[in-house]
Amino acid sequence: MSNKWKSKKRGVIAVMLLVKKAQKGNDKAFLKLFQQHEEDIYRMAYVYVKNKDDALDVVQEVAYQSFKKISTLKKPEYFKTWLMRITINCAINIVNKNKKVVHLNADYDKFIGTNDEDIPLSLSLQELIDMLTEDEKSIVLLRFYHNHSFKEIAELLNIPLGTAKSTLYRALHKLRKEYKEGDICGK
C-alpha cells in the first residue's frame, strides 16, 4: 500500500523533472511528456471535430501551443490537466471555424453507417458526438473520461460550479432521452 503510493508519488516527481527540463526549452523532454497523452488528446479532439484530419490538426496545434507556453505552467503536477484545457480550446476553435463551411464529409457518413450496429448501447460514441454541444462534451469528457471532480472541471473551464453540474445533468438527460426514442423505434 505505502509502496504503491510512494511509487506513484515518484512517478509524479519524474513528470515534474521532465516539465522542468521542457520549461528550459528541451524539446526531447517535452516530447516524452506529450506522447504519453497524445492518444487522449486525439480522441478528445475527435469528439468535437468529428473527423480524422481535423483531429490530427488539433493534436499538432496542441503540441505547438503547449510547448510554446510550457514556461507559463507554474505547477508541473497539473501538466495533464493543463494539456486537456488547451485541447478543448483548440478543438472548439476548429469547430467554430468549420461552422462557416458546409461539410460533406465521406468519412463521417461511413462512420454513422458502421455505428448503426451499436444501437442497443445506452450511450454510443455517435450520440456523444452528435447530440451534445461543445460545452456539454467538455464536461462529459472531463467528468467521465478523465475522472475530474466538478470542482476541478469548474476550475479548468473557468465556469461556476453550479453551471458545471447543471450542464452535465442536461447532457445526461439528452443522452437518456435519445436512447429511449431509439429504443422505441427499434421495437
Partner 1 sequence: MGNKIKQELEKIEIPKELHERSITGIKQAKSEQPKGKIKRPLAVAAILFGLAGATAGFAFPTAASNLPLIGNIFKFLDEESGFYDNYKEYSTELNMTEESNGVKVTVNDAIFDGESVSVTYSIESKQDLGEEPVIFQNLDIKGSDGMTGSSQLKKIGENKYVGIMTGSNFSKDDPESVKVDWGIDGISVLNEGHESEKEIKGNWDFAFKVNATDSLKQTIGKSVKQDGLKVNIDKISMTPISFVLYYSQEVPKKIRDKWHDVSVDLEVKDDRGNIYSGEGNGGSGRNSYDMNWSKTFEKLDPEATKLIVTPKVLFRNSENFGSAEYKKDGTVKEGKLPKKFKPGNKEFSLEDIVIELEK
Q: What are the residues binding partner 1 (CB under 8 A)?
A: 6-8, 10-11, 13-15, 17-18, 20-21, 24-27, 30-32, 34-36, 38-39, 42-43, 46-47, 52, 56, 59-65, 67-68, 74-75, 78, 81, 121-125, 128, 140-141, 143-145, 147, 151-152, 154-155, 158, 160
Q: To the nearest whole angstrom, how small is the minimum distance from the Cβ of residue 124 to partner 1?
A: 6
Q: Which is nearer to partner 1, 10 or 103 (CB)?
A: 10
How far apart are the C-alpha atoms of 89 and 31, rounded to whole Å?
A: 21
Cα 129 from chain centre = 12
12-40: burial string, b at 16+ Cβ within 10 Å, e else: eeebeebbebbbeeeeebbeebbeebeeb
Q: Which is nearer to partner 1, 20 or 103 (CB)?
A: 20
Q: To the nearest whole angstrom, how small is the minimum distance from the Cβ of residue 93 to partner 1?
A: 15
Q: Which is nearer to partner 1, 5 or 100 (CB)?
A: 5
Q: To the nearest whole angstrom, how small is the minimum distance from the Cβ of residue 40 to partner 1?
A: 9
Q: Which is nearer to partner 1, 2 or 102 (CB)?
A: 2
Cβ-Cβ contacts under 8 Å for 182 (sequence gap 6 or more): 119
Q: Which is nearer to partner 1, 42 or 100 (CB)?
A: 42
Q: To the nearest whole angstrom, how small is the minimum distance from the Cβ of residue 34 to partner 1?
A: 6
| List of long-range contacts for 173-176, beta carbons under 8 Å, 24+ apart | 174/131, 174/132, 174/136, 175/122, 175/123, 175/127, 175/128, 175/131, 175/132, 176/122
Q: To the nearest whole angstrom, how small is the minimum distance from the Cβ of residue 104 to partner 1?
A: 21
How far apart are the C-alpha atoms of 67 and 35, rounded to whole Å?
A: 12
